[in-house]
Structure 1
Amino acid sequence: MKNTWRFGELELRYIREVIDSGFGSGTSGSMNNRFETAFAKKVGSKYAITFNSGTGTLQAALYAVGVGYGDEVITPPLTVISNLDVILAQNAVPVFADIDPDTFNIDPADIARKITPRTKAIMPVALYGLCCDMDPIMELSRKHNIPVIMDAAEAHMAEYKGRPIASIAQITSYSTENSKHITTGDGGIVVTDNEEYAIKMRKFGSLGYAALPAGDGRIRRHKDIFQDPAYKRHDAFGYNFRMPEVAAALGLAQTERMDFFIKLRLDIAAMYAEAAKECSYLLPQKTPKDYLNTYWTWTCKYERDDVSWKDFRAKYVEFGGDGIYAAWALLYDETIFASGAWKKLCPPLYGPLDYKRPVCPVADTVQPKLMQFVTNFGSKAEAEPQVEALYKTIRYFK
């Protein structure tokens, strides 16, 4: 089996349990429940709900807090397109708050400037494994009665001032896509301590079944209910965003091994940092005191004018590196947004909107300079050639 460091006998054992049980679906099986229980305990939250993606989790979270037609959602422009997609899927209006130039995360001061009476949610993103500055964000949440949905897709087990990040915002969303700290192949899981939010999110991801409580995703628990012709199954709106049982089996095994995966990423990030420590033009993402960055990638800002970003990357590849990943284009620069094509989703609402430049000047400056180095390796030895390539590239361009 390939990727034996990533998937091993524990994953196979839980998958066999699913198959041996008759391959129960997410509506009747138990593996999703076991994954949810283990993950909630691991990250320090009361409820966890599995989904087929980290995009589904975010849309469910927006639905749970009541985001709908014409409501505004504040989010950073430096993030994956999913954050924009889910806002538009709710017929809501994206409002872009600028980022901090050193942490690359959303700037709480700009959030404060962007709040209006129509603001219904704040969606910060824990970028590259680093939590945002959450104390001022949560103060804004309390002051204006606006719920916070933290997108922690890249920040499993990260900490903020010594606290688990899942204990801070009203809702915290994680991805379990294959590049993340733990994986179910594709998938997502969302956590909260709020029972009402948990019920709404669970129903949203499972066709609005009336029988669903906060802590149990199984629908067919009592045959007498389902075998009654008078029973009304659906009392809420929802999609079929459930995680398959076989994927949840992977998630359970990966959760039980999460400490190993996190430690490995921390060690590999430290190797990159050591290679670049004397380099004045590679500025690592700033991790403030008492934060734990769990390094989905080791990311730095490239501050050099005489050698282009692309030339530096080309030399890195020449020295044996597997490439340097660029940051996503800013959300408002992506073709779907910049072209105005997104306005066709809801012309009466979106047609009059105009996002005049500069929308977020700091993000405009930082995004082209970011370099992401992969930490998703099976061992420090496997990562060593990438680190050595970085060291050689830095030395070459001295």
Structure 2
Amino acid sequence: MGLALHRPDGPPGNLEWLETPPWDVEAVELSRDGRVAAWVVNENGVSRLFVRRLAAGALDGEAWRAAPVVEVPMPEAGVIAALALSADGRRAVLLINRSRRPAEVYTVELAEVGPSRQIAPPRQVTDGFIGAIPEEELVVPEPVSYVTWDGRGISGWLYRPRKASPEHRVPVVLSIHGGPEAQERPTYSAFYQLLLHRGIGIFAPNIRGSTGYGRTFQRLIYRDWGGGELKDLGEAARFLRSLDWVDPDRIGVFGGSFGGFATLSCISRLPEYWAAAVDIVGPSNLITFAQSVPPTWRDFMAEWVGDPERDAELLRERSPITYVDQIRAPLLVIQGAKDPRVHRNESEQMVARLRELGREVEYLLFEDEGHGFTKRANNLKAFRAAAEFFERKLLGPGAGPG
């Protein structure tokens, strides 16, 4: 998505494109006096902020191109969650979320934006990080990419524990985001940082279906759940095994919602890669999942996943429950009893079958939650349980911070 100017005195749809970057433009602000324009570009998950000061506030293509563009230097790779300009355009206010600090308010002085094309970095004006953990104790992820099965590049964020080395190989958890139309970005995750502190790495890829890489890539997931994206995840496991600081026998997998479905797909259809898994509110049976969604979702579900009657054969073939007898990895399943999107039966049929087969499975049900966690105590309990499960299965008893 680019940045375009619509001329109200022209015919409908008469747009003049002002900026056409190869990445999505996520936010645009124009000062009230019309003299300063600012916009945010999502470049491979990282926010970049650009500013132009327009001569006499003339908002047309010629004036736009004549105004120098200035990029605001960020303190660290992160995500600009909100952007606002003062009425006179002399100052911008930003909400920035970084991997080592949750969202804080920053200000940027824009008065000097001009031909010099230089501007000072944002200044942090709030400090809401409860616990005040020193930033140097936290881990900044590395942007990485790998080539998947059909030649496409898959990007992601790799978090390496501080003590990891070829001489001290460590376990890694493959974290699969929900959606699936969402994007893993370098924002603060207490869960990731806790695992890293304990000596467990994280790899969070943006497999096909993710946003931020164009509509064609995003729509590859449509009616292909458990198809191409599962192959992407298999390649991700092989990528991790190729790293000299990763213990190839201690790779876990984790995800919620669609990420939970993908986690169950991984351990049931690619069982050779995983030493432990945590699934949060993930569908296990695409037929019952498609049948149980709210009525307002049914047309969308048929386009997105498949129709439970017309596409029953496809949905059965792509369902993790179909391959439950292949699961070898210990599994923790977390579910909300009141979930309207992924009914509790999705978790409970998987848990029941695994118990019948004598496989190792733990089940944590929250009676007062739905699709995710609205209560802080439940959120803490769920992610503490997930972290402790990975510690037991990937590190063993007595393991210390890594």
* TM-score (structure 2 length as normaliser): 0.25
- Provide TM-score, normalisation by structure 1: 0.25
Q: Which has the higher contact order (CA 8 A, sep 6+)?
A: 1
**Structure 1 or 2: more helix by fraction:** 1
When Rg is computed on C-alpha atoms for both structures, the one with the higher figure is 2
